């Protein structure tokens, strides 16, 4: 498939800045990025911001920062665009060295092509208002027909329409004339997909010469940016025939298409804010590692030939094969995400995890770094996210209040536990002697109360390891406090 291509591999991610970057769009960006890296191609970022009412610069900032945090940096910049033969007016403007493109800065380009379709009688002004269109839609539905525009403004002269119009000659949209044919395109994931375009009706491609709509602008951008492959979610399948027809009308070449399976919530319903539609920034705030999130997202609808689950970025590029993408919906499994994240945390050295925790906002200055690293070594195996560090390690920094009853091991007497703690106190910091005492008096009767005395918790790392992380002085103070609890 790829060896026969004459043009370079060029893919894009084209989010709309009307919301924060979420898992669905990020997964699409990842598949495009991997495809580009696999075949030495270019990954382009295009901000589709022609919806001025809903677009917001804060969302664009979030999209850019989230992609960078994930390590999905785009390749296109002014120099690259020149080298690839993209002329200046098709590039758009750039912020910084590498993009992105913005549709709002490319309006003159769209206007040129809208005029071309109008001049060649392949598009026309439509004067029908929303009320008319809705009435027409409801009438067709009532008769059991698919709702589509009747094309009445196509068949009536502009002058007659103006005279009859309630809008005093003001057009509402510009429509593209959709030929009634059977159209088939090859999807790299799903095979041949066919449409009867007679069911579509003439589609709106712009509000006016300066305000293109999605299906038109995306065709122009993909052509001008020399996009070779359009890899996107299956919710765009219905848009593909419309875009192909516009391509044909303008004499454009057709890119290859691949539609990824939708991401479903655990109950197999559509994405929700609770799981898959949560913003990437929220996962970052919850303490997920970017490389773990990348690893998790690639498994949403794809798997390597060897079914390996934990893979480095380099392995993903090497193993990635778009043909192994599944057609069925990909279920978002939170437990699997936590497991993968935990595996990545465990794979970090204590020093690397220290740096990650610092970046995450954990206060690492209240203990010497050497002592902090000992705490990390004890807690790391139990961490699923960075945010869990504080709850798992809080007792190292401040002993929580606990009931004296927690110090009692099973059916042991209070006197026995008190005596054992007093003997342990006399042996600190000699761990070998404490271990020997436990073998003599009973491991549960010695090590359980010692662990509770040091952590104040029912579940924690082993007491001898805690002793090492706390240091001799703090260990003695905590055992003495436990003895006082039992005495009182």
The phi and psi torsions of 290 (rounded to 5 degrees) equal -60, -40
Q: Strands across the sheet with 173-176, in order?
A: 123-126, 173-176, 203-208, 211-212
d(CA 201, CA 176) in angstroms, rounded, equals 9
Residues 6+ apart with CB under 8 A from 402: 452, 456, 457
Assess whether the previous peptide bond of 429 is cis (omega < 30° from 0): yes
Helix %, strand %, coil % of the chain (to 5)? 50, 10, 35
The phi and psi torsions of 325 (rounded to 5 degrees) equal -75, 135
Question: Exposed, middle or buried by CB within 10 Å (0-12, 13-18, 19+), for 191?
Answer: exposed
Closest by Cα among 117, 125, 107 to 251? 117
In three-state secondary structure terms, 208 is strand
d(CA 314, CA 307) in angstroms, rounded, equals 16
Tokens 């970052």 found at: 284
* Binding-site residues from annotation: 273
In this structure, how many other beta carbons lie within 10 angstroms of the beta carbon of residue 11?
26
The residues annotated with a catalytic role in the active site are 273
* Binding-site residues from annotation for ATP: 273
Tokens 């030939």 found at: 305
Tokens coding 150? 């009747």
Q: Strands across the sheet with 101-102, in order?
A: 10-13, 42-47, 101-102
Closest by Cα among 93, 72, 101 to 316? 72
Tokens coding 2? 């790829």
Closest by Cα among 172, 250, 175 to 205? 175
Q: Are 421 and 450 in contact (CB under 8 A)?
A: yes
d(CA 363, CA 381) in angstroms, rounded, equals 20
Which stretches does DSSP call E strand in 36-96? Answer: 42-47
Closest by Cα among 253, 252, 255, 227 to 117? 252
What DSSP character marks residue 274?
Answer: T
Closest by Cα among 330, 280, 310 to 72? 280
d(CA 313, CA 317) in angstroms, rounded, equals 6
Q: Are 38 and 255 in contact (CB under 8 A)?
A: no
């Amino acid at each position: 498939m790829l060896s026969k291509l004459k043009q370079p591999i060029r893919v894009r991610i084209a989010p709309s800045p009307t919301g924060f970057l979420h898992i669905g769009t990020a997964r699409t960006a990842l598949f495009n990025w991997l495809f580009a890296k696999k075949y030495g191609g270019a990954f382009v970022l295009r901000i589709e911001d022609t919806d001025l009412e809903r677009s917001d610069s804060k969302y664009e900032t979030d999209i850019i920062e989230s992609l960078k945090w994930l390590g999905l940096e785009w390749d296109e910049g002014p120099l690259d665009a020149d080298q690839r033969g993209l002329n200046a007016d098709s590039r758009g403007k750039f912020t910084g060295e590498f993009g992105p493109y913005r549709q709002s800065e490319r309006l003159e380009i769209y206007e040129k092509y809208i005029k071309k379709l109008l001049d060649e009688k392949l598009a026309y002004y439509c004067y029908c208002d929303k009320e008319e269109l809705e009435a027409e839609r409801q009438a067709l539905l009532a008769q059991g027909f698919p709702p589509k525009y009747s094309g009445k403004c196509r068949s009536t002269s502009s002058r007659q329409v103006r005279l009859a119009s309630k809008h005093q000659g003001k057009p509402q949209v510009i429509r593209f004339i959709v030929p009634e044919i059977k159209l088939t395109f090859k999807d790299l994931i799903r095979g041949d997909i066919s449409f009867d375009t007679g069911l579509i009706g003439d589609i709106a491609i712009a509000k006016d010469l300066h305000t293109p709509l999605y299906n038109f602008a995306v065709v122009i951008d993909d052509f001008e940016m020399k996009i070779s492959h359009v890899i996107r979610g299956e919710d765009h399948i219905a848009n593909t025939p419309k875009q192909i027809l516009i391509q044909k009308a303008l004499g454009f070449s057709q890119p290859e298409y691949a539609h990824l399976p939708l991401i479903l919530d655990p109950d197999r319903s559509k994405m929700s804010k609770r799981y898959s539609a949560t913003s990437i920034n929220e996962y970052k705030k919850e303490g997920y590692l970017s490389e773990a999130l990348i690893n998790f997202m690639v498994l949403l609808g794809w798997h390597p030939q060897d079914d390996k689950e934990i893979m480095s970025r380099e392995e993903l590029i090497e193993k990635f094969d778009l043909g192994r993408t599944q057609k069925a919906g990909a279920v978002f499994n939170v437990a699997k995400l936590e497991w993968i994240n935990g595996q990545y945390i465990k794979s970090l050295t204590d020093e690397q995890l220290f740096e990650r925790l610092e970046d995450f906002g954990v206060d690492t200055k209240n203990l010497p770094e050497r002592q902090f690293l000992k705490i990390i070594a004890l807690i790391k195996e139990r961490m699923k996210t960075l945010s869990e560090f504080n709850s798992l390690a809080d007792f190292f920094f401040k002993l929580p209040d606990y009931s004296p009853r927690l110090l009692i091991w099973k059916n042991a007497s209070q006197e026995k536990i008190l005596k054992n703690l007093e003997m342990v106190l006399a042996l600190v910091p000699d761990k070998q002697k404490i271990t020997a005492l436990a073998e003599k008096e009973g491991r549960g009767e010695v090590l359980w109360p010692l662990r509770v005395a040091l952590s104040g918790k029912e579940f924690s790392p082993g007491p001898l390891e805690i002793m090492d992380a706390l240091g001799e002085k703090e260990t003695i103070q905590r055992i003495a406090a436990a003895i006082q609890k039992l005495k009182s």
